[in-house]
């Protein structure tokens, strides 16, 4: 059995025209990998108008890609806020406290401390509900607030049952920590009318103005209720029926219950109702309060002290004197939304001349934009058809009963031959001829990577010495200059880039490639070669982040493999050869259960090739972990650094 950890990112901006976006997304969702998009460009004399067109294309694509993730205005206010900020919930879900709690191995003293702190939260909630009830001018609203207050009092009674079992009064013996004080102070200040952007509390006199305070107060409480309901549903399936403490189970079962979900929904419905008559500016105030409350609640979980060893964050687990951390990442559709070949094609088409514009000063005879599009249509159609045929040929008729690494390698060797032949056709077609290196660099600098991607690598580089770490990008990309320029805008010139390269004459591409990394076999060879030069064998911890079939061998060879996205072809091939894909959170919880005090190798020795990956559901027979459905770098950040930003 072989395992990978999986997660599904929310894609944010790259550049392309909307038609190309739809084309690439359709391809990525199909069983086939994204089709390469062969480009052609102008020579070294890039005209101003072409440059402006390229800049416009980048801007338009970024806007359209961002709008694809927009939330419909038909959603309620609370729902829109939760969808907008839900990705940050990863910082609570993957906190050491919650991971240890879900494993059933959280030390009782840590849970006692949490309950004591939570009592202070609940008392603040009761007080805030009382204040909101006084501000509401509608009997139905007052009754709804009163019912929510009763729910909090019931939660306090459950806490009292813990206190009775322990025989102590934790609320009296424990001083609120700074995170608790921050949230409770923020909540009660809001309930008192002290809201940034709001009216001075002393000047609030009319019933309508008081109703706004009730809405603001609910805005500061609603995300906490939704976050707890979210955590309950995530934690409950992880509970071990035998080993989980009855106290933990009682608390988690309550959060996962229908009654708690109903209370969270009632809180959201009430916020929606109280906000109906508010202006756009006042709704922005509520959004700010909602986001602030969510961040403070997340801080509360991160502030819970635990003494025991936790498998997260990875940066705290590793001993840099014992392990050299080597992080690898794919580029296309792992860091980007659109395959780099599509980006290069956009440059080529936008800067391609009309047929009569070729002159004696041109270094190469260039295709017109119309001819270029026709060439692309032929090449892409041929690639798609033959790729699907290749996948069908290498796919075993029956799923493997056990992980079949040798069979997988043999199959991917055939796929590698196909990829190399496809690249040869692209070169022979001449569509890569005439691209200007400055055009490529400018496009890369304007390329917007997936949300948080740059920040993740910046943290790795910043902690390079502290973690004893190196970072390598392994990519099929035809042009390493595009990758380097994409990262240079984030100050990441120190990343090691391993990809193919354009051949240039006077900064203009000849149409030839320096062919280094074209296939799954090329990638895994490069991966192994890098590790051989990264210190003594067994003394490094390798992490690979990827999204497609081309990354599969590297994901399996690495100590930690993180799969980005939900490539159907990756899952199809992986599962047929005995690789399974499991949710990241579940895999972390299982790893926490396996860990022992004093064991410095929590992330190594996974029967050779078990891995973390990122998918949505359990597939196949190995193990891949799912970093759940949001920005991949958010999840990588919490696993590596516990970095809330």
**Any idea which residues carry the catalytic annotation?**
224, 297
Q: How far apart are CA 198 and CA 479, in angstroms?
A: 52
- Comparing CA positions, the residue from 132, 127, 288 lying closest to residue 210 is 132
Of all helices (H) and strands (E), which one includes residue 90? helix 90-93
Structure token pair of residue 547: 């999204």
Rounded Cα distance, 296 and 190, in Å: 14
Pairing status of strand 560-564 against strand 324-329: unpaired
Distance CA 541, CA 639 (A): 14
Q: List beta partners, residue 628.
A: 7
The pairing of beta strand 501-505 with beta strand 508-514: antiparallel
The DSSP H or E segment spanning 21 is helix 18-29
With a CB cutoff of 8 Å and minimum separation 6, the contacts of 215 are: 271, 274, 275, 278, 282, 286
CA gap 327, 329 in Å, rounded: 7
Closest to 544 (Cα-Cα) out of 334, 315, 311: 334
Q: Which of 152, 155, 181, 123 is nearest to 303 (CA)?
A: 181
How does strand 560-564 pair with strand 579-583?
Answer: unpaired
User: What span, in angstroms and rounded, lies between the C-alpha atoms of 117 and 138?
Assistant: 33
């Amino acid at each position: 059995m072989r395992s990978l950890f999986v997660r599904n990112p929310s894609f944010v901006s790259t550049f392309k025209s909307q038609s190309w976006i739809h084309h690439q997304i359709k391809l990525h969702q199909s069983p086939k990998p994204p089709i390469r998009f062969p480009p052609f460009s102008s020579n070294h004399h890039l005209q101003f108008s072409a440059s402006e067109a390229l800049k416009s294309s980048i801007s338009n694509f970024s806007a359209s890609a961002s709008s694809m993730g927009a939330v419909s205005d038909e959603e309620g206010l609370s729902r829109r806020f939760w969808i907008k900020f839900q990705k940050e919930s990863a910082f609570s879900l993957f906190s050491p406290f919650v991971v240890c709690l879900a494993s059933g191995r959280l030390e009782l003293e840590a849970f006692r401390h949490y309950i004591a702190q939570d009592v202070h939260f609940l008392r603040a909630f009761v007080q805030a509900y009382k204040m909101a009830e006084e501000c509401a001018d509608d009997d139905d609203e007052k009754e709804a607030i009163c019912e929510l207050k009763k729910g909090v009092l019931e939660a306090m009674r459950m806490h009292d049952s813990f206190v009775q079992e322990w025989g102590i009064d934790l609320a009296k013996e424990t001083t609120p920590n700074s995170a608790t004080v921050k949230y409770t102070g923020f909540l009660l200040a809001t309930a008192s009318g002290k809201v940034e952007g709001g009216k001075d509390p002393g000047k609030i006199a009319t019933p309508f103005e008081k109703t706004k305070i009730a809405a603001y107060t609910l805005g500061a409480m609603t995300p906490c209720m939704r976050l707890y309901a979210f955590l309950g549903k995530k934690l409950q399936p992880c509970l071990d029926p035998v080993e989980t403490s009855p106290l933990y189970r009682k608390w988690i079962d309550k959060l996962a219950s229908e009654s708690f979900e109903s209370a969270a929904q009632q809180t959201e419905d009430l916020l929606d109702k109280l906000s109906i008559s508010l202006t756009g500016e006042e709704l922005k105030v509520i959004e700010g309060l909602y986001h602030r409350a969510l961040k403070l609640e997340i801080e509360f979980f991160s502030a819970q002290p635990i003494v025991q060893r936790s498998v997260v964050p990875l940066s705290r687990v590793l001993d840099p004197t014992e392990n050299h951390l080597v992080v690898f990442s794919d580029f296309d559709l792992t860091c980007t939304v659109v395959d780099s070949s599509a980006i290069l094609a956009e440059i080529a088409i936008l800067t391609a001349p009309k047929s009569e514009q070729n002159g004696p000063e041109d270094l190469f005879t260039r295709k017109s934009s119309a001819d270029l599009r026709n060439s692309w249509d032929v090449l892409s159609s041929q690639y798609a058809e033959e790729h699907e045929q290749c996948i069908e040929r290498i796919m075993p008729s029956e799923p493997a009963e056990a992980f079949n690494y040798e069979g997988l390698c043999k199959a991917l060797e055939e796929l590698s031959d196909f990829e190399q032949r496809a690249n040869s056709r692209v070169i022979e077609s001449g569509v890569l001829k005439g691209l200007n290196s400055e055009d490529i660099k400018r496009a890369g600098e304007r390329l917007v990577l997936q949300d948080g991607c740059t920040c993740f690598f910046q943290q790795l580089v910043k902690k390079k010495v502290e973690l004893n770490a190196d970072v390598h990008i392994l990519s099929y990309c035809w042009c390493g200059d595009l990758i380097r320029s994409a990262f240079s805008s984030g100050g990441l010139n120190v990343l090691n880039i391993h990809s193919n390269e354009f051949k240039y004459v006077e900064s203009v591409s000849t149409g030839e490639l320096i062919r280094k990394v074209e296939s799954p076999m090329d990638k895994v060879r490069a991966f192994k070669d890098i590790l051989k030069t990264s210190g003594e064998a067994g003394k490094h911890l390798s992490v690979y982040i990827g999204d497609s079939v081309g990354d599969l061998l590297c994901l399996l060879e690495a100590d930690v493999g993180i799969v980005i996205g939900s490539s159907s072809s990756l899952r199809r091939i992986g599962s047929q050869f005995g690789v399974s894909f499991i949710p990241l959170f579940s895999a972390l919880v299982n790893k926490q259960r396996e860990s022992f005090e004093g064991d410095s190798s929590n992330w190594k020795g996974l029967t050779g090739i078990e891995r973390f990956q990122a998918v949505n559901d359990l597939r196949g027979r190995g193990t891949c972990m799912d970093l759940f459905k949001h920005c991949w770098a958010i999840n990588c950040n919490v696993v590596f650094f516990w970095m809330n930003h």
